[in-house]
Amino acid sequence: MTTTRRAAVLGSPIAHSLSPQLHNAGYRALGLEGWSYDRFEIDEAALPGFLAQLGPEWAGLSLTMPLKRAVIPLLDEITDTAASVEAVNTVVLRPDGRRVGDNTDIPGLVAALHERGVEKTESAAILGAGATASSALAALARICTGEVTVYVRSERRADEMRQWGERLGVQVRPADWADAVRAFEAPLVISTTPAGGTDALAEQLPAHVGTLFDVLYEPWPTPLAAAWEARGGQVLSGLDLLVHQAVFQFRQFTGDPRSPLTAMREAAVRRG
């Protein structure tokens, strides 16, 4: 008799999430029978009630906005990685009933860069200063040996990024968004802006560029990513981040040390 095990992604809105396709592809690829992964439209108000009714068949949850911080008071424990950015995107539901929060975006970003040969960088630049930028800083704390320049639109955002840098042990230099074209002098650029945020910069690339990690994946390619590739630079997309962070979640939920990376990537590319 096959034991039923469940996992799901929660958030609002959630219909666009590719996580069910990725995790279910992983189960099939590794022959994990009885496992299923769903999606649920859950906001902050509904989250406590949803967690309270979960049965012993539940192994884990993936969280997207707006739940990454709202879930923290509802957990028994969070990892140092999650605490470093005050954001949880993974909840492991232990057999003893404990809820443990983690953040797989940070190691996922690092793993995606390692896969493309970026293991260390002497400097880096971040475009934007939202929630994803703090995770980018935390990832850079692991691979950047020098200064990280963060291009922001306000002094308030500059102060926030300075504080994140101090907390994460990263040397951060805030810079005005008006000078964002200077970001492209760095060997590694991480763009964390919403869709359209860097479109005006796409026509201002220098002749030689390094590596761009654009965390968007829909629509793709962004004008910046397309221009970057035309210059011969290396480009990573939000799908690279999505797949790698999902692998870390998959291993935590299932306890299976094998990697379903290839199956997950294929599911992400075909969107199903």
Closest CA to 234 of 125, 109, 116: 116
Q: What is the C-alpha separation between 218 and 195, in angstroms, rounded?
A: 8
- Across the beta sheet with 99-102, the strand order is 35-41, 5-11, 58-63, 90-93, 99-102, 77-78
Continuous segment of H or E residues that includes residue 62: strand 58-63
Q: Is 68 a catalytic residue?
A: yes
d(CA 236, CA 173): 24
Is there a contact between 205 and 184 (Cβ–Cβ < 8 Å)? yes
Residues 6+ apart with CB under 8 A from 32: 26, 254, 256
Dihedral pair phi/psi, residue 23, rounded to 5°: -65, -40
Check: CB of residue 50 under 8 Å from CB of residue 41.
no
Active-site residue, selected from the candidate residues 5, 23, 68, 265? 68
CB 112 within 8 A of CB 241: yes
Do 58 and 35 meet the contact criterion of CB atoms below 8 Å apart?
A: no
Query: Which residue numbers are catalytic?
Result: 68
